[in-house]
Every structure is written in C-alpha cells, then in structure tokens.
Amino acid sequence: MKSRSSFIQFIFLPFLLASLWGCAATEQHEQLSSREGRPSSFEIIEENGQLTEEIDTEATLSEPEITVAEEIKELETLGEWDAGKPEKVSAKAEITYDFPVTMNKQVEFYLNFFQHKHKKSFARWLERSGRYLPMMQEELRQAGLPLDLVYLPMIESGYSLTAYSRAKAVGPWQFIHSTGRHYGLTIDNFVDERRDPVKSTRAAIAFLSDLYDRFGDWHLAVAAYNAGGGKINQAIKRYKTNDFWELAQKSYLKNETKRYVPKLIAAILIAGNPGKYGFDNIDYQAPLAYETVEVPAWTSLRAVEVACGADLEDLKDLNRQLLQMMTPPDKDGYLLKVPMGRKEILAKNLPKVHATSTTNYKTHVVGKKDTLSKICTKYNLNKLTLLKANNLRKSKLTPGTRLRIPVQTTHYTLWDRDLPSSENDGSRLVLHTIKPGESISHIAQRYNVPLRLVAAWNELSDINRIRAGQQLALYVTDTAGTANIVTAKTAPHRPNTTTPVYYQVRSGDSLWSISRRFKLTATQLKKWNNLKDNLIHPGVRLRVSEPS
C-alpha cells in the first residue's frame, strides 16, 4: 500500500505495577546463572530515568519493495500491456483459484522473475507464510472473501511483521498511518497494530471488502489497495472502462500500480502449487499459536520473560505491536500474547517478579568535536549531573578525557517465596509532599529514582497531572552513594516478633479506619510513618507495628 490516500484474567494489586514497568531505550541484557537459595535475574539499562523501554528497532525495509525499480524497468521492455485470457482450470484440477487468474506476458514475466532471479527471496516468503496462512485464510473465509488474497502480504512484505516502506507503510499488509487508523488500528508511541498479524489482517479484510464493494472487481480492488480508491476511480472515469487490463494499457496509472496485479497473480499461482514451479522442499514455519493473558499497564516483556520462562525473542515476535517492549500506560489491562502453555505460570509468577534499580556508570571518551552540550544531548543528561558525576568545575573538555555517564540498571528477579519486606532488603519508605512548582521529573531526580517507578508506585497514569500538597510514596535505599529502588510487595506480612508489619492503603481508607483495624492510634501511625498530616493515598505502605 505504497501510496494509499486514504484468558486468564487476574487482578494485581495496584502497587504491583512497580515491579513490571519497562526500562531504557538503551539496554544491556545479561543472563545470570541460578544458584541454590538465590533468584535468577537479568539486568537492563534505563537511560537516566526515561519512561521508555528499549525501542524495538527491528524494522526492516519491505523485501518486495527492494526490487520495484528493477521490475518496472524490465516490464517496460515488454511493450504494450497484454489483456490476456483467464487461466483455464478443469473441473478435475487439484488446484483451483477463487481470485480471477489471468495469463499474459506480464504474469509470465513475474512467474519467471520469481522462479529464477529471485527464487531465494520467494522461497523465504513461502517458508515464512506457513506461520500466518492458516490464521489469514480463516479470517478471509469468515469474511467471505477470496482465500487467494492470503498471498497479498507476500508481495507487500514477504509476510514480515517488521516491514516498512519508503512511503512509511508498515507491517505484513503495509498500511500507511491514515488508512490503518481509519480501519481501527491503534498507532501511537507505544503500540503500532499494523505489526499485529491478526488485527492488521482484519483491517486489511475490511479495507479490501470496501474496495470490492466500490469497484465490483477484484483486479481493480487490489490495484486500489496499492494506489488508493480515488486514483482507480479517476482512471475509470477518464477511460470509461472498468477493465483493469484496459486501464493498464493507458498512461494514467503508474507502472508501480500496473505491475501489482500480475505480480499477485504470479504469487498465487506459485504459492498454490510450488512444486510445479520448482520450489521443492520448502520448510514452512509452524502456524502461529499463542495464548493471551491480561496484564497491567506498563508491563515489561522483560518481566514477562522472567515470570513465565518464555524466550524473549518469542515474546517480542508475538507482540511486535509493542514498540517499546512494554504494554501501553493508558490501558488498565492489556491482552498480551504468550507461547502456548505459559499463561497459567505467568498468572502465578508475575506478581512475584521483583524489580530493583541502581545507578551505574558507563564511559564516554571525549572526541575532538565533543562539547558538554553534545554529550548531554546524546545521553539525555543535564549539564549539572554530568559535571557532578565527573567532579568537573568547568564545561571545557579535553579530547581523550574519559567521562563517567550515569545510567540506571533495572534488575528483574523472580522469587519463589513472598518478596522480602522493604526493611529486609534495605529500602525505606519516603513520603514526599509535592510543593508548588515541583514536577515528577524534579522529584525523581531529587531522590535519584526512575520517573516510571515514581509513577507506578503512586498509580499516576498521567505524570503531568499532579497537584501541590499531594503525597507521593517512594521506596529508596542509599548504598555507597547509589540509590536502589525496590518495588512494593505482593501481600502484607503477617505479624511476628521479628518482622515489621506493613499495610497497603486502599481506596476509602483513612488513618482513623486503619488505626482501628490494627488497634492503634492515628498519632502512632503518623509518628511511625513520618506523616505530617492525616492525608494518605491508595498504594502507600504504612508501618502498623511498633519499631523495635
């Protein structure tokens, strides 16, 4: 579409969001060995408190588009377009077609093109098609469309979910932004459903259905899929014919659109009977199979990997629509795809995933053209932070100097037992009352914690919507000058003689109701939790046992 105009559901406590949030645009992934009595874990890098996890950069130029110029040049040597004749198929034929197959010199050109010069590419597309054909054919069948349209993504993207074109079309069906959104696909900074094979297939079917209803001919409909309905409609009006092959003989339609129909017909013929055309021993990929699990907003695929033991690459491939490898922040629940047999273990373990963040450093060697501003822009730092991290008093830099660049490392860990309390793992609860003029960014910087975790701990769906006087809960610990951030825990601990007891504030709670529940006074609660007033918020953890 190069130039188109146009389950298991389970409930997590709100504070569990903190253990699931994603991390930085730049990351290092280190798989650590599991030892007896210790959790398995890995780490990823978050660049200086940014809200984004690493971006899925595995976008690839659409393979079929690479040869467009070559195809057009060679097609032009064939001379006038040939109207051709419909392919005759006997009633006893093993292979039949429900898309109108016409044979002419342009179709024969593509049959030869795929069988010889670009045989390796076409074989790769055939192999890749095995993953998506069953699902796509079923969607086409339910919609009552020709099943042969299942091969349209072959000439659009080679069945690649990460394909993009020079016209900024994306995904297996190569939707441009406006058409994708028109047909119900979500496209924003976190999600691009053009890369979701199921949702993009349904959108493509709706688009093709509209085009067929408009033109009443499948050749014209697929040509309009490439050029846009308006372009085809103008061609029909100009030449007073609704026969695609007659329109192809005229100059109005671009060669890129003209070649689209014979190319699809050739793909249908070969894919329907690959052995006949010399494509033997094709190793088709296994059909797409997955389960869906509803998970909270900001759930990182890294956390899911730890929780259910699935391979990260498999999770990414099943959820290519997640551009930042995390579920979107504006959805309370998001249906995540996981490999078959993993949803139950994910439901069980996701609440046990424990995330901690620490500040580490990497090295930048100052180049000849480097300035303090350039380095700060590159690593998304402010100048004061960079100067302090390197004990510098002036901004002039000497080439060859090695600078310490602070970055935040987030560790995800799966514990087989209840997570330790924040007291046990060295953290402390800090209740910060927002002052006039303060922003979440300033507060996160002050306490040296990731912006995303401040938002998660306090259930802030919009970090810009805060008010003076509002109280924020922060879980921090200072170790050798490094701030470690721990997540809230999965459940309150039962009282005993050695472990402090904490209570997670819920909607409707007040200091008075909590004090009555634990047979305390509001004064005791305020003293033990360093509260200056009676204002508390859902998600805050209050100590409800007397400090030893």
Q: What CATH number did the domain enclosing 126 receive?
A: 1.10.530.10
Q: Give the separation between CA 405 and CA 388, rounded to whole angstroms.
A: 11
Q: Give the separation between CA 476 and CA 431, rounded to whole angstroms.
A: 11
Q: Is the pLDDT of residue 540 over 60?
A: yes
What's the pLDDT band for 527 if we cut at 50, 70, 90?
Answer: confident
Query: Domains in the chain: how many in total?
Result: 4
Q: Examine the domain organization and report whether 162 and 230 are in the same domain.
A: yes
Q: Examine the domain organization and report whether 424 and 449 are in the same domain.
A: yes
Active site residue 156: yes
Q: Examine the domain organization and report whether 226 and 79 are in the same domain.
A: yes
Mean pLDDT estimate for the chain = 80
* 1 within some domain: no
The DSSP letter of residue 484 is E
* 497 within some domain: no
Q: Examine the domain organization and report whether 412 and 516 are in the same domain.
A: no
Catalytic residue among 156, 193, 294, 305: 156
* 411 within some domain: yes
What's the pLDDT band for 346 if we cut at 50, 70, 90?
Answer: very high
Q: Examine the domain organization and report whether 345 and 396 are in the same domain.
A: no
The domain containing residue 302 runs over which residues? Answer: 8-56+290-350
Last-in-domain residue among 299, 318, 350 = 350
Tell me which long-range contacts 254-259 makes (C-beta under 8 A, separation of at least 24): 254/227, 255/72, 255/75, 255/76, 256/2, 256/3, 256/68, 256/72, 256/226, 256/227, 257/223, 257/226, 257/227, 257/231, 258/75, 258/81, 258/106, 258/223, 259/71, 259/72, 259/75, 259/106, 259/110
Q: Examine the domain organization and report whether 196 and 106 are in the same domain.
A: yes
3-state helix/strand/coil string of 272-306: HCHHHHCCCCCCCCCCCCCEEEEEECCCEHHHHHH
Q: Examine the domain organization and report whether 538 and 520 are in the same domain.
A: yes
What's the pLDDT band for 121 if we cut at 50, 70, 90?
Answer: very high
pLDDT, one tens digit per residue, over 148-188 is 999 999 999 999 999 999 999 999 999 999 999 999 999 99
* 496 within some domain: no
* 3 within some domain: no
Q: Examine the domain organization and report whether 207 and 93 are in the same domain.
A: yes
Structure tokens at 272: 């329907």
The residue ranking higher by pLDDT, 252 or 478, is 252
Q: Give the separation between CA 81 and CA 223, rounded to whole angstroms.
A: 15
What pLDDT is recorded for position 139? 98
Q: Is the pLDDT of residue 34 over 60?
A: no
* 412 within some domain: yes
* 297 within some domain: yes
Helix boundaries (H) for 244-380:
244-248, 255-258, 260-272, 301-308, 312-318, 343-349, 372-379
Q: Examine the domain organization and report whether 106 and 218 are in the same domain.
A: yes
3-state secondary structure (DSSP) of residue 146? coil
* 495 within some domain: no
Last-in-domain residue among 328, 350, 372 = 350
Give the CA angle between residues 536, 540, 544 to the nearest 5°: 90
Q: Examine the domain organization and report whether 273 and 248 are in the same domain.
A: yes
Q: Examine the domain organization and report whether 395 and 512 are in the same domain.
A: no
What would the mean pLDDT of 514-521 be, rounded to a whole number? 77
First to last CA, the chain: 69
Last-in-domain residue among 242, 277, 312 = 277
What pLDDT is recorded for position 355? 63
Q: Which residue shows structure tokens 């009633």?
A: 91
The residue ranking higher by pLDDT, 70 or 10, is 70
What totals of helices (H) and strands (E) does the chain contain, helices first? 21, 16
CATH number of 518's domain? 3.10.350.10
18-32, 90-104, 331-345: least confidently modelled range: 18-32
Q: Is the pLDDT of residue 490 over 50?
A: no
Q: Is the pLDDT of residue 19 over 60?
A: no
Q: Examine the domain organization and report whether 172 and 238 are in the same domain.
A: yes
Q: Is the pLDDT of residue 494 over 50?
A: no
Q: Is the pLDDT of residue 267 over 60?
A: yes
List b or e across 256-283, with b for residues whose CB sees 16 or more CB atoms inside 10 angstroms. Answer: bbbbbbbbbbbbbbbbbebeebebeebe
